[in-house]
């Protein structure tokens, strides 16, 4: 069992090693009754994080694990099994693992990976949209845009566009940023609400704005993460790049306003002083990642690093007790829809140790903190 230095990269490697020891690729949660690897965003975000760690340390075990997962989600004909099932076809969430295919494609330029990506991305041109051109989050939630959706589809679309020249798909992804920012912004906090129903049919929809009631931490985290990663693939001379950066700067400033006294961000971000609310690690990791990346790339003020470092340190301080060389993180909210969308709904969500939402977010955060610290030295 390896012992790593207590640095961002060291903790990230410990987390990767722990998960590799615990789970064969076919055992990664959630199993969803299949007893095999599944093409879902829980596994996708975790493996996206593992790839970032691999890029820093070049430990071939991590790349091998990712490759074995990609092989495991394909059938005997080389097709992603979920492509023909209801999940991928009827929700944005199960597009996100395409980013794992992108990571491998950028390393190998394997034409088969690009062929897999072709269906996953180009079919989004015909995916259901509301009257504004915004993706429905699920087929079963007509017209509704959920903040999570930008990360589930946005980075994938702009990456694929950069490989193939499909500018229409890049513009489709960018449109989602502006729609969400325009229609989902909470005027009081400057943060974004979890959901928006233009038709105001959902039980949670405000009768005037169509907005859901609360600012859920991980949804906000997905949004700023998506922009941080999409900017890597949006050309420097794109006419709206400056506007996208301005949105990210505005949102990060709003996020910083609601950092709690203990250092992390809370499940309902703007109500961290309210009874029953609690510090949630996955959103904290996503915010730290987005702040650190923006600082490193020069569009977020250097002063923001202090807040990011304080949050990172607090996540590390509150890791759960574990045997030497093992990694254990709690306070990660399980997968969450909007349901009634109330404050009580969010604060009573369950938490799971080493939930893949949290593990992926942690690996992203730690890898970006490692890059930022390396750049400073």
Catalytic position from the list 17, 143, 148, 355: 148
Residue 350 falls in the annotated catalytic set: no
Count, residues in the chain: 377
Helical (H) or strand (E) element with 45: helix 41-57
66 backbone dihedrals φ, ψ, rounded to 5°: -65, -45
Three-class secondary structure of residue 106 per DSSP: helix
Rg (Cα) of the chain, in Å, rounded?
Answer: 19
Instruction: Return the HEC string of 275-307.
Output: CCCCECHHHHHHHHHHHHHHHHHCCCCCCHHHH
Which residues partner with 185 through β-bridges? 192
Dig out the tokens for 53 from the structure: 């760690």
Please state, as a whole number, how many other Cβ atoms lie within 10 Å of the Cβ of residue 40: 23
Within a 10 A sphere around the Cβ of 228, how many other Cβ atoms?
25
- DSSP tally for the chain: helices H, then strands E: 14, 2
Catalytic residues: 148
């Amino acid at each position: 069992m390896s012992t790593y230095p207590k640095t961002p990269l060291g903790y990230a490697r410990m987390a990767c090693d722990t998960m590799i020891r615990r789970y064969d690729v076919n055992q990664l949660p959630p199993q969803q009754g299949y007893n095999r690897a599944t093409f879902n965003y829980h596994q996708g975000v975790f493996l996206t994080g593992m790839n970032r760690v691999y890029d820093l340390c070049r430990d071939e075990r991590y790349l091998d694990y990712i490759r074995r997962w990609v092989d495991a989600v394909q059938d005997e004909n080389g097709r992603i099994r979920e492509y023909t099932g209801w999940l991928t076809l009827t929700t944005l969430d199960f597009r996100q693992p395409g980013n794992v295919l992108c990571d491998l494609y950028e390393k190998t330029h394997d034409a088969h990976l690009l062929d897999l990506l072709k269906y996953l991305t180009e079919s989004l041109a015909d995916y259901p949209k509301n009257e504004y051109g915004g993706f429905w989050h699920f087929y079963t939630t007509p017209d509704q845009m959920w903040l999570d959706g930008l990360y589930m589809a946005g980075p994938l679309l702009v990456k694929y566009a950069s490989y193939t020249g499909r500018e229409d798909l890049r513009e489709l992804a960018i449109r989602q940023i502006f729609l969400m920012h325009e229609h989902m912004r909470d005027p009081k906090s400057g943060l974004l609400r979890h959901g928006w129903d233009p038709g105001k049919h959902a039980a949670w929809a405000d009768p005037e704005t169509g907005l859901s009631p609360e600012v859920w931490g991980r949804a906000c985290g997905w949004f700023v993460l998506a922009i941080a990663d999409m900017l890597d693939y949006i050309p420097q001379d794109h006419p709206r790049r400056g506007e996208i950066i301005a949105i990210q700067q505005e949102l990060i400033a709003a996020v910083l306003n609601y950092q709690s006294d203990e250092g992390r961000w809370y499940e309902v971000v703007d109500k961290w002083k309210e009874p029953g609310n609690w510090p949630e690690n996955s959103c904290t990791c996503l915010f730290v990642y987005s702040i650190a990346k923006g600082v490193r790339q020069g569009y977020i003020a250097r002063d923001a690093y202090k807040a990011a470092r304080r949050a990172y340190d607090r996540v590390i301080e509150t890791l759960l007790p574990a045997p030497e060389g093992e990694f254990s993180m709690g306070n990660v909210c399980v997968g969450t829809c909007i349901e009634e969308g109330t404050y009580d709904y969010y604060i009573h969500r369950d938490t799971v140790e080493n939930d893949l939402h949290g593990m992926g977010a942690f690996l992203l955060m730690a890898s970006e903190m490692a890059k930022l610290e390396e750049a400073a030295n």
